Amino acid sequence: MLFKRLREEIESIRQRDPAAHSSLEVLLCYPGLHALIFHRAANWCWRHGLRVTGRFLSHVGKILTGIEIHPGATVGRRLFIDHGTGVVIGETAQIGDDVTLYQGVTLGGTSLHMGKRHPTLEDGVIVGSGAQVLGPFTVGAGARIGANSVVLTEVPPGVTMVGIPARIAGRCTKGNEFLAYGLEGDLPDPLVRTIETLRQEMSQMKDRIAELEGERHEQVTLTKTGARS
């Protein structure tokens, strides 16, 4: 069972990374895969009451891979952590199947209580490099988080989030197709889009004011002409 799952994950990495030229290369050279192997052992210890042992294995995995996965985190099948350096996954984080995380991603908590405080990523989510997903909310299936975004609220399925704080930039139009770094073409910045909308509305208001002032000037002129006659 373990070897079958390992083969499955190696194959999923090869499907999502054109730089992976062989299964042996993935097995020997991909820290994201090594971090998952350490996490499975640490998570087993954590679930069976060997908490210190679990934390120690997690710490060793962090030293060797640069990826920190708390042994209490729930990780689904075929997680791909690409490059991986600086990735942090918190204790109560839950990750579904076929999720992709890039370097510098944090799945963090924003409170000190002992309950659920880290995010849940549903199946097929892609989180771009440097993004921070902070809080006990759900990122819906197939959502994309743009690089360096800071996500603080619930994310609907199938949308793309960008910015600080992250806002919806649109819906993913390519279905289940894998998109490296969660990008598909030119994504508009939601803040810039809002500013542009306001600019257009102000321009329309200025035109309307000029039109009303012209009508008023005509009325005043007609009134003065009528008074002279």
Secondary structure (DSSP) of 167-218? EEEEE-SSTT---GGG--S-PPPHHHHHHHHHHHHHHHHHHHHHHHHHHHHH
Instruction: Say what the pTM is.
Output: 0.75
Range list of β-strands (E), the chain? 68-69, 74-75, 80-81, 88-89, 94-95, 100-101, 106-108, 120-121, 126-127, 132-134, 138-139, 144-145, 150-151, 159-162, 167-171
Residue 93 CB neighbour total at 10 angstroms: 25
Greater confidence (210 vs 90) lies with: 90
Cα-atom radius of gyration of the chain, to the nearest Å? 26
* CA separation for the pair 159, 82 (Å, rounded): 21
Distance CA 83, CA 220 (A): 73
Residues near 114 by beta carbon (within 8 Å), at least 6 away in sequence: none
User: What are the tens digits of pLDDT across the range 106-134?
Assistant: 999 988 888 899 999 999 999 999 999 99
pLDDT tens profile 22-71? 999 999 999 999 999 999 999 999 999 999 999 999 999 999 999 999 99
Asked if 101 and 127 touch (Cβ cutoff 8 Å), the reply is yes
**What pLDDT does 151 receive?**
96
